[in-house]
């Protein structure tokens, strides 16, 4: 069994080899956005492997993802599976969340003035 850690939250979960990253995330209560039901077509479930390893990119991932992205460790969480080694993946920042946080920060600063 390996450990899969999700950044930026730092939530971690023990995983069996061959478990999908999306499935492991669900078990760890980490939300990875997805729209295509895991068919490698929406590309919303991209994660970045920061350390450790996952299974090599699938044929579907190689077809859908630019090679340069795969080379720097960007993977589709619906396709990538765990191995028996530990792994750390980073979820991209949520753009909507960033917009809301910036608006709240602006509002807070206006209220302080
Ligand atoms: S869930 Fe759509 S590409 Fe992974």
CB atoms within 10 A of CB 41: 13
22 CA → ligand 1 middle, Å: 9
pLDDT for the residue 83: 96
**pLDDT tens track for 41-66:** 999 999 999 999 999 999 999 999 99
Which atom of ligand 1 is least distant from the CA of 37?
Answer: 1
Residue 60: phi and psi, rounded to 5, are -65, -45
pLDDT of residue 97: 65
Q: Is the pLDDT of residue 113 over 80?
A: no
Q: For residue range 54-98, list pLDDT tens digits in order.
A: 999 999 999 999 999 999 999 999 999 999 999 999 998 766 666
pLDDT tens for each residue of 5-16: 999 999 999 999
- Provide the Cα torsion 90, 96, 100, 105; round to 10°: 50
Query: Which residue's CA is the closest to the ligand 1 atom numbered 3?
Result: 40
Residues at CB less than 6 angstroms from ligand 1: 34-36, 38, 40-45, 76, 78
Q: Kindly report the pTM of this predicted structure.
A: 0.82
Confirm or reject CATH 3.10.20.30 for domain 2-112, answering yes or no.
yes
């Amino acid at each position: 069994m390996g450990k899969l850690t999700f950044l930026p939250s730092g939530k971690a979960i023990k995983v069996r080899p061959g478990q999908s990253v999306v499935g492991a995330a669900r078990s760890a209560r980490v939300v990875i956005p997805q729209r295509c039901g895991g068919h490698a077509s929406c590309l919303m479930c991209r994660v970045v492997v920061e350390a450790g390893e996952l299974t090599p990119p699938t044929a579907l991932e190689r077809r859908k993802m630019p090679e340069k992205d795969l080379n720097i460790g960007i993977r589709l969480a619906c396709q990538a599976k765990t191995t028996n080694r530990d792994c750390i993946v980073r979820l991209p920042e949520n753009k909507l969340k960033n917009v809301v946080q910036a608006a709240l920060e602006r509002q807070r600063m206006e209220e302080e003035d």
